[in-house]
Amino acid sequence: GKKLGYTFNNRNLHNVSLGQGQEVVAEQALDLAAKEGHWVILQNIHLVAKWLSSLEKKLEHHGEGSHQDFRVFISAEPAPSPDSHIIPQGILENSIKITNEATTGMHANLHKALDNFNQDALEMCTRENEFKSILFALCYFHAVVAERRKFGPQGWNRPYPFNTGDLTISVNVLYNYLEASSKVPYDDLRYLFGEIMYGGHITDDWDRRLCKTYLEEFIKPEMLEGELLLAPGFPLPGNMDYNGYHQQYIDDALPPESPYLYGLHPNAEIGFLTQTSEKLFRIMLEMQPRDTSMGEGGVVTREETVKALLEEMLEKLMDEFNIAELMAKVEERTPYVVVAFQECERMNVLTSEIKRSLKELDLGLKGELTMTSDMENLQNALFLATVPESWIKRAYPSTASLGTWFADLLARIKELEAWTGDFSLPSAVWLAGFFNPQSFLTAIMQSTARKNEWPLDKMTLQCDVTKKNREDFASPPREGAYVHGLFMEGARWDAQTGIITDARLKELTPAMPVIFIKAIPADKQDTRSVYPCPVYKTHQRGPTYVWTFNLKTRENPSKWVLAGVALLLQI
Q: Where are the domains of the chain?
A: 2-94, 106-266, 301-424, 437-570
Question: In this structure, are residues 259 and 152 in contact, taking their beta carbons and an 8 Å threshold?
Answer: no
Provide the whole-model pTM. 0.82
Could you tell me where the DSSP H helices lie in 428-569?
A: 437-452, 557-562
CATH, domain range 301-424: 1.20.1270.280
pLDDT in tens, the chain (571 residues): 334 444 444 458 888 888 777 888 889 989 999 998 899 999 888 888 888 899 999 898 888 888 888 999 998 887 777 777 888 888 888 888 887 776 788 999 999 999 999 999 999 999 989 999 999 999 999 999 999 998 989 999 998 989 889 999 999 999 999 999 889 999 999 999 999 999 999 999 999 999 999 999 999 998 888 778 999 999 999 889 999 998 889 988 999 999 999 999 999 999 888 888 988 888 887 777 655 444 445 556 788 889 999 999 999 998 899 999 988 888 888 999 999 999 999 999 999 999 999 999 999 988 888 889 999 999 999 988 899 999 999 999 999 999 999 999 999 999 999 999 888 889 999 999 999 999 999 999 999 999 888 898 889 999 999 999 899 898 999 899 999 999 999 999 999 999 999 999 999 999 999 999 999 998 888 888 999 999 999 999 999 999 999 999 999 999 999 999 999 999 8
130, 184 contact by CB (below 8 A)? yes
CA gap 247, 387 in Å, rounded: 52
User: Percentages helix, strand, coil for the chain, rounded to the nearest 5?
Assistant: 50, 15, 35
Of the candidates 442, 476, 477, 438, the one whose C-alpha atom is nearest the C-alpha of residue 457 is 442
Phi, psi of 460 (to 5 degrees): -145, 170
Give me the pLDDT at residue 300, please. 64
Q: Do the domains 301-424 and 437-570 sit in the same CATH topology, yes or no?
A: no
Which sign does the torsion angle of CA 493, 498, 500, 504 carry?
Answer: negative
Angle at the Cα of 134 from the Cα atoms of 132 and 135, rounded to 5 degrees: 60
Q: 437-570 belongs to which homologous superfamily?
A: Dynein motor C sequence, barrel region (3.10.490.20)
Phi, psi of 479 (to 5 degrees): -130, 145
CATH class of 106-266: mainly alpha
HSE on the CB side for 212, CA within 13 Å?
13
3-class DSSP assignment, residue 550: strand
Q: 258: left (phi > 0), else alpha (psi -120 to 50), else beta?
A: beta
Phi, psi of 404 (to 5 degrees): -65, -40
Strands (E), 475-539: 481-484, 487-489, 492-494, 499-501, 515-521, 530-536
Helices 128-147, 205-218: crossing angle, 10 deg rounding: 150
Residue 2 confidence (pLDDT): 37
Tell me if residue 533 falls in helix, strand or coil. Answer: strand
The answer to whether 351 and 357 have CB atoms below 8 angstroms apart is no
Provide the CATH topology of domain 2-94.
Answer: Rossmann fold (3.40.50)
- Longest Cα pair distance anywhere in the chain, in angstroms? 90
H-helix or E-strand containing 140? helix 128-147
Distance of alpha carbon 562 from alpha carbon 119, whole angstroms:
32
